[in-house]
Amino acid sequence: MTHRGPAVRPRRLRSTPAMRRLVGETRLHPAELVLPMFVREGAAEAVPITSMPGVSQHSLDSFRRALVDAASAGIGGVMLFGVPSVRDAEGSGATDPDGILNVATRIAVQELGDALVVQTDLCLDEFTDHGHCGVLAADGSVDNDATLERYRDMAIAQAESGSQLLGLSGMMDGQVAGVRDVLDGRGFGGTPILAYAAKYASAFYGPFREAVQSTLVGDRRTYQLDPGNAREGIRETILDAAEGADIVMVKPAMSYLDVLASAADISEIPVWAYQVSGEYAMIEAAAANGWIDRRRAIEESVVSIRRAGADAVLTYWAQELAGWLRETA
C-alpha cells in the first residue's frame, strides 16, 4: 500500500494567488480608513514632522490641497488636530470659533462637503499651556468635572464649525454623557460621538507630542489606562456606550489587539482602533533602514488591526494605503 501522507492539507487553499484571494478572510477597503491631519496656526507652508517621516503640520493652503487628495483617495474620513500658536491654562483656543481647529474644520467641511466624514479631536491638550487633556485644580491635579464644562463648550464650538463626528479623546469620567447632553440641548442631536473608550497611557504617542508641539511635563496616568489592564479597557468601553457613544475606540492599536478583540466581541456599536504615531514611526524607521519591507509591513499592520475586530482604522497611512488598494482591486 502506498503512503498517502497527511489526510488534512490546509496548504491546498494557499496554492495560488487566486486561491488565496478567494479564501481571504480579511479585506481592506479605503472607506474604513481615517486619516489624522495636523493643522498649524500661522504656518506659511507645511512643516514636516521629523519623527513621522511623510507627515506634516499643514498650513491652511497645504491642508486644502491634502483634503482634495484625501477625498480622491476614497478614504472614509479625516480626523483633525489643531496646533495653536498661543496656549493658556484653560485651553481657550479650543472654544474660540477662530481657534485653529475650528477654522480648519470649517475649511474641511467647505472643501469636502459630504464626500467623507470630517472628524475633530475633542480634547484640551493641544490648547493648554501645561499640555494636559483637562484643566488643573489648585493642587495641580487634572480636575475632572471642571474639564467636563470645557469639553461641553468645545463640543458646541466644534459642532457649530461643522464637525461631523466628535472624537472625545480626553479620558475624563462622564465626558460622553456630558457632551451628549449639551449637544442634544443645543440642537445638535444629530452629531455623533466617537469615544476613545479604551485609551492607554502609552509611550507610542511619542511622535504625536512633536506633531502638536506638546508642552506636557510628566504623563497622563491619572486619566489614561494602565497598559496592563484589559478588563478596565472593557469597562470603559461599556461605560462609554451606555453614556451614549455612537462609536467606541481602542488606542493604540497594535499593542492592544487583545483589548480590541474583546471590545469587538461585546460591543453593539462600531469599534474602531487608532494606529498611533509611534506605531507609524517604528515601521517607517525600520523601513528607512532597509530592515523591513515598508509596504508589506504597513499592509500587514493594518490588516491585523482589522482582523482583531476594528471596523475602521485611524492610520497616518490611510491615503497611501487607499492608493495601493485601488491598484490591486
Q: Which residues bind ligand PBG (CB under 6 A)?
A: 121, 123, 125, 133, 169, 205, 208, 220, 276-277
Q: With residue 302 as reference, give the H or E element that holds it.
A: helix 294-307
Cβ at position 168, least distance to ligand PBG in Å = 10
Our answer to whether residue 172 is catalytic in this structure is no
SS3 call for 197: strand
Task: State in angstroms the smallest separation of the CB of 16 from ligand PBG.
Answer: 38
The residue among 115 and 146 lying less far from ligand PBG, judged by its C-beta, is 146
DSSP string, 56-98: EEEPHHHHHHHHHHHHHHT-SEEEEEEE-S--BTT-GGGT-TT
CA torsion angle for 123, 41, 280, 226 (degrees, to 10)? Answer: -20
**251 is known as an active-site residue:** yes
- The H or E element that residue 251 is part of is strand 247-251
Least separation in angstroms between residue 276's CB and ligand PBG is 4
Closer residue to ligand PBG (CB): 167 or 309: 167
CB closer to ligand PBG out of 45 and 219: 219
Residue 18: CB minimum distance to ligand PBG, A: 37
* Helix or strand (DSSP H, E) at 199: strand 193-199
Candidates 40, 150, 251, 306; catalytic one: 251
**Grid cell at residue 105:** 474644520
Catalytic site residue from 130, 180, 199, 306: 199
**Beta carbon nearer to ligand PBG, 70 or 123:** 123
Supply the residues annotated as catalytic.
199, 251
